[in-house]
Structure 1
Amino acid sequence: MARCLSFTAARDRCYDRSFSAAGLRPTATVLGDGGTVHCWAPKSPNPARPPLLLIHGFGANAKWQWAGYLRPLLRSGFDLYVPDLLFFGGSEAPGPDRSEVYQARCLTAAMEALGVRRFGVVGNSYGGFVAYRMAAIFPEAVEKVVLLAAGVCVEERDLAAGLFVVSNVAEAASILLPQRPDKLRQLVRLSFCNPPRVMPSCCIWDYIQVGWQNLVV
């Protein structure tokens, strides 16, 4: 019954319809190691439109991160490819490797399996680290790369200056993978320039329990 009344589940279904209405279809590419990359891809790829890969950030998935950007990017003339990173959303992997290098290799393999051998990449936050690795490892595949809010050049002095103040890894994990409403509010305050003023605890609990049920870290 709780799932039927879930705001998060209802919104997720709306995102499914939005992606489909935007001309995208869900695909699943099985990798050599047994992993699977879930990716929204064009129903009818157009060779005249440059392919653009959108990589979401940590804790999100493809639909929740990029739904609001589909129409503007499509109007700009791109063929969009919107994957879930491994261990997020509908993508999964059997091994223990959690590195951005592994993510980069898997996404590049998925794009090749979809018949796309050269493309632009936009990476947000953690997705920016993956995009950076893709461009470095596969220059023949990545034509252009755009990094959004990705600290690929962050140095220790930046952390010391208060960019992300945590005392240990456990504290960082409690913020990046919040399991309580107060921690998710803290993450939003750190991540958003204009965070929402009101975040009801009931909605936050629903998002944590339903929205992150497939997250594997």
Structure 2
Amino acid sequence: MSAVPMLAVTGLHGWYGKSHILQGIDLAVGDGELVALLGRNGVGKTTTMRAVAGILGRAEGEVRLAGEPVLGLPSHAIARRGLSLVPEHRGIFATLTVEENLTLAARRGSPWPVARIWELFPALAARRRTAGGKLSGGEQQMLAIGRALVTGPRLLLLDEPTEGLAPVIVDQLVAILGGLKATGLSILLVEQSLAVCTAVADRLAILDTGRIVWTGNGAALAAAEDVRARHLTLEHA
């Protein structure tokens, strides 16, 4: 693992209008590391993702991608530097086919060409000519991840990828995330399921009232009953 983290966030503040949501986030994702960000609804997890990706209206502090400062750059410039975000609501083009969604996003020289996405997601290959809006929820999530991968990211941000999905699909996504991590891809994951987080994450960080209040591995969190009771919800069971 490189001494320079793929993502380094220091003293990050963020606002929605006059609401001060992020109040000094310090967070790092190492090269090839998967870090899960947990916390109750409304504490700033998605806001953190948006600030890192350059799509939050107002943010202050420091965000570095592979050592290079990116806070304040437009989102497309951050994306060109190797960051890709899969938003909570997936954001696929409903009227375009699966293949069109992928080819539209694909970048020349990406280590994840469309042919590799077919191998990763055989279900998508079978439905390559189907409109994105006609896919199941699990297939749409696979397409959203595939579309992010074809851009060739060094850092992948995933916001609530298992939300609303059947357990069998969640299990498939857990296996896929483990496989992506094994390729050396750095991943920041926002996820409600503690079981998913502990299955795939190298480290977990808990966010509460706009700050990181706890970090550690899955075993440490399992032993920290007081931390779970104070900062997490039943959804994290």
What is the TM-score with the length of structure 1 in the denominator? 0.30
Greater length-normalized contact order (CA 8 Å, ≥ 6 residues apart): 2
What is the TM-score with the length of structure 2 in the denominator? 0.28
- Of Structure 1 and Structure 2, the greater strand share is in 2
